[in-house]
Amino acid sequence: MEVGRLPISASQRSKLIAAGYTTLSSFSSLSPSHLARDLKISDNEAAEIMRVASHSHRLDGSAGGCGTVNGAQTAWDMLHEEEMFPRITTSCEDLDNILGGGINCKEVTEIGGVPGIGKTQLGIQLAINVQIPVDYGGLGGKAIYIDTEGSFMVERALQIAEACIEDMSECGGLLRKDSQACQLKMHPNNILENIFYFRVCSYTEQIALINYLDKFISEHKDVKIVIVDSVTFHFRQDFDDMALRTRLLSGMALKLMKLAKDFSLAVVLLNQVTTKYIDGSFQLTLALGDSWSHSCTNRVILYWNGNERYAYIDKSPSLRSASAPYSVTSKGIRNSASNCKRIKMM
Amino acid sequence: MAPLKSLEQEYPILDSNFQSFCASHDIFSVEDLLLHDLYVLAAFAEQESSSERLKQGIAQVLSIIDGQHQPWLNGIELLEDAQRNKHVLSTGCEGIDLLLHGGLRVGQLTELVGPSSSGKTQVCLLAASNVAKKHIGSVVYLDTGNSFSPQRVTQFICQHSDPAIDQAKHRTLQKVMNNISCKSVFDIFTMFDVLHQLEFNLRSQMQGGDCKVQLLIVDSVSSMVTPILGGSGSQGIHSWHALMISAGYLLKKLAHEHNIAVLVTNHTVGGDGGISKPALGESWKSIPHVRLLLSCDHGGSICNVSILKHPSMAVGKAARFMIHN
């Protein structure tokens, strides 16, 4: 039934079907008041239904190209578009290498690891690195940090911001850039100003906030990264209705995907881990199970290897599976200080 | 179908006299007429004063209904159609092609099921690159997870060509890549709009030529259904079910009528006893013609594929394949 695919409420749909209108063309030529009388609803409601139906009908009739879909891009165009968006560096060269240069815009990247591995540190580092000016190879954008656990420490962010500015001025000096153009006007306070911080305390707040982000980002077009730390915290405890949880999580994942695509920004989701018994051994997997594991474009798992911190690419459409060491220093995320800096290819 | 009174404009024989006659038998729409015993109705019409017109009206409604369904086909016509139009598209992956006796069959809906990182998107990208490169036809890729990677597609296309003249290679690459269109869809209603648009475009374009769509990929159909799956609130218990089933039917209809191979991906969920099973439940099981289960060795590049459902091959048949980097 054609009316089955209209985004209207179930009661409106059943009234339409009960009155005999099962295809869009059957009521598209009626006047709203006629329809309102037939369905015994208000004129406004009928007008709304007709508007939605004519929108669908119009899309059907609009002329396309060679059998392709309106609004679709060819792969060739997409290839060149990708080159326009630089990736967001993590400040750790090895990590950047396995990520193909850094965190990619237009994609949702999930980063998971055991507590204490440095997820929040990485989150803060990315919130600062996205602000690196275009002259220094960065994006020059702002960041949104959504904190669900209360783990964001402003003093630490300040520390990392200062270290980042130091590194940039060193870099600028080495490259002997023109002092006029690239006088580093950045001050740690500027960096902190460009991080929009939201604290959420329940899953309803989290979902409401993600729904609101669409409007917020249209008003602040220079936001280039959204970090959610951690995305699953409020969904892990006290959820009686698992089916509802799956629906909410997958709906949220799709909204984040849409945000990333529409506004060309990077979405980074930090997640906790749990153990799973697979093939006779316990393996670390990210929390929230199978259905959530499909809700990201890329996945990076952080883990301990002896005394070293390692990152492993678990899922990616274009990157190979590889792992790289990194370390958390007072300046933020940096290359691992150990001697063996080989990147293990799996 | 519409209520009878709205058909009056187009078919003047269904005038108010006819409508009031039908109303007296509780018939208000064409569907009501279908539920009625037509002989009994004709008998009642005989007793009325304008019996001839009434019977003509009934015949008119019946012919409207007749115009709604597809024409009948016999076995020979079906065989001719299968031999002429429903050929096989190679996926570019030897293991899968061997398992499927050639590749994806045009006119059929093939489903790839697998846990996360089992290679479903890779197979989709490989199939898209192969069809765009080898066959004269275009690919439509509907992506729900921003996973369409043009670089990966470039890698696949340039894999087997020899490193010859750069310029010629560049031009062929452009031609091939222009044959693949990608659209991001993030909810099921948008997907319906997109598919109906595609159907309209296919119906109104000329046959043949470079633009003919050969492969439609939806990656993944489960991400679109899961946000509404099992909803009992405003959507109603059966509403998500109806949407999912009609999406499946629409994909199969597109495949059969316009000679397209459709490839969709689905993920797995935990089942009884910890064994994972495909998502989307029992009712989705009967929709795809072919279901393949993918799994990948942890961290390895060798993947397993086995048949879960196929119209002509045994379930459980398996193969291994490797996606080159």
Q: How far apart are CA B250 and CA B245, in angstroms?
A: 9
Neighbour count for residue A83 (Cβ, 10 Å): 9
pTM reported for the whole predicted model: 0.83
| pLDDT value, residue A58 | 64
Judge: B268–A290 Cβ closer than 8 Å, yes or no.
yes
| pLDDT value, residue B313 | 83
B237 touching chain A per CB within 8 A: no
Give the residue from chain A lying closest to B132, CA to CA: A75
Give the residue from chain B lying closest to A76, CA to CA: B177
Q: Find the CB nearest B144 among A1, A23, A257.
A: A257
**Residue B322 DSSP code:** E
Q: How far apart are CA A218 and CA A197, in angstroms?
A: 17
1.10.150, 1.25.40, 3.90.1530, 1.20.50: CATH of A3-82: 1.10.150
Give the residue from chain B lying closest to A66, CA to CA: B211
Chain B residues in contact with A260 (beta carbon < 8 A): 146
Neighbour count for residue A14 (Cβ, 10 Å): 14
CA nearest A231: which of A275, A199, A270, A274?
A: A270
Chain A residues in contact with B125 (beta carbon < 8 A): 317
| pLDDT value, residue A346 | 44
Measured distance between the N- and C-terminal CA atoms of chain A, rounded to whole angstroms: 50
B299 touching chain A per CB within 8 A: yes
Q: How far is A6 from chain B (nearest CA, A)?
A: 7
Q: How far apart are CA A252 and CA A246, in angstroms?
A: 10
Judge: B1–A20 Cβ closer than 8 Å, yes or no.
yes
Interface test with B, best of A15, A70, A288, A294 (most B CBs within 10 A): A294
- Under a CB-based contact definition with an 8 Å cutoff, are residues B305 and B99 in contact? yes
Q: Measured in whole angstroms, how far is the alpha carbon of residue A253 from the centre of its chain?
A: 8
Q: Find the CB nearest A67 among B151, B202, B325.
A: B202
H helix or E strand, kind and range, residue B255 = helix B239-257
Residues 6+ apart with CB under 8 A from B260: B106, B107, B213, B214, B215, B216, B254
Judge: B186–A78 Cβ closer than 8 Å, yes or no.
no
- Under a CB-based contact definition with an 8 Å cutoff, are residues B292 and B124 in contact? no
Q: Which amino acid is at B200?
A: F
Which three-class secondary structure state does DSSP give residue A196? strand
Q: Residue ranges per domain, chain A? A: 3-82, 86-334
- Bond into B220 cis (ω within 30): yes
Q: What size, in residues, is chain B?
A: 325
CA nearest A225: which of A334, A335, A132?
A: A132
- Under a CB-based contact definition with an 8 Å cutoff, are residues A119 and A273 in contact? no
CA nearest B252: which of B84, B74, B77, B86?
A: B86
- Under a CB-based contact definition with an 8 Å cutoff, are residues B213 and A67 in contact? yes
| pLDDT value, residue A63 | 44
- Give the ranges where A175-304 is alpha helix by DSSP (H): 188-193, 203-219, 233-236, 242-263, 289-292
Residue carrying the six token digits 């598919």: B195
Judge: A67–B212 Cβ closer than 8 Å, yes or no.
yes
Helices B120-134 & B150-157, crossing angle to 10 degrees?
A: 50
CA triple A299-A302-A307, angle to 5 deg: 165
B271 touching chain A per CB within 8 A: no
Which three-class secondary structure state does DSSP give residue A315? strand
Between the alpha carbon of residue B55 and those of residues B51, B59, B131, the distances in Å are 6, 6, 55
The counts of H helices and E strands in chain A are 13, 13
| pLDDT value, residue A340 | 47
Give the residue from chain B lying closest to A56, CA to CA: B193
pLDDT tens digits in sequence order for chain B, 325 residues long = 567 777 777 777 777 777 788 788 877 777 777 788 878 888 887 887 777 877 887 888 788 778 777 778 899 988 888 888 888 888 888 888 888 888 899 999 999 999 888 888 999 999 999 998 887 688 999 999 889 989 888 888 887 665 555 677 778 888 888 889 999 999 888 899 899 888 888 887 655 555 688 899 998 898 888 888 776 555 554 578 888 899 999 999 999 988 899 999 998 887 776 678 888 888 899 999 999 999 887 666 788 888 888 888 888 888 888 877 6
The b/e string for A25-35 (b: 16+ C-beta within 10 A; e otherwise) is: ebbeebebeeb
Q: Which amino acid is at B86?
A: K
The b/e string for A221-250 (b: 16+ C-beta within 10 A; e otherwise) is: eebbbbbbbbbbbbbeeeeeeeeebbbbbb
Q: How far is B200 from chain A (nearest CA, A)?
A: 6
Residue carrying the six token digits 């597609």: B153
Judge: B200–A64 Cβ closer than 8 Å, yes or no.
yes
| pLDDT value, residue A278 | 67
- Under a CB-based contact definition with an 8 Å cutoff, are residues B155 and B323 in contact? no
Judge: A26–B2 Cβ closer than 8 Å, yes or no.
yes
Q: Find the CB nearest B29 among A20, A289, A314.
A: A20
Which three-class secondary structure state does DSSP give residue A50? helix
Interface test with B, best of A11, A69, A264 (most B CBs within 10 A): A69
2.130.10.10, 3.40.50.300, 3.40.47.10, 3.20.20.80: CATH of A86-334: 3.40.50.300
Give the residue from chain A lying closest to B3, CA to CA: A20
CA triple A245-B239-A235, angle to 5 deg: 5
Q: Find the CB nearest B243 among A4, A29, A60.
A: A4
Interface test with A, best of B149, B171, B215 (most A CBs within 10 A): B149
Interface test with A, best of B146, B203, B211 (most A CBs within 10 A): B146
B157 touching chain A per CB within 8 A: no
Express each pLDDT in A202-213 by its tens digit.
Answer: 999 999 999 999
Sites in chain A below the pLDDT cut of 70: 1-2, 4-5, 22, 25-26, 56-68, 174-185, 278-282, 338-346
Chain B residues in contact with A56 (beta carbon < 8 A): 193, 196
Judge: A317–B202 Cβ closer than 8 Å, yes or no.
no
| pLDDT value, residue B238 | 57
CA nearest A189: which of A162, A151, A170?
A: A162
Express each pLDDT in A274-291 by its tens digit.
Answer: 777 766 666 777 777 777
- Under a CB-based contact definition with an 8 Å cutoff, are residues A333 and A95 in contact? yes
B85 touching chain A per CB within 8 A: no
Judge: A290–B269 Cβ closer than 8 Å, yes or no.
yes
**Residue B6 DSSP code:** G
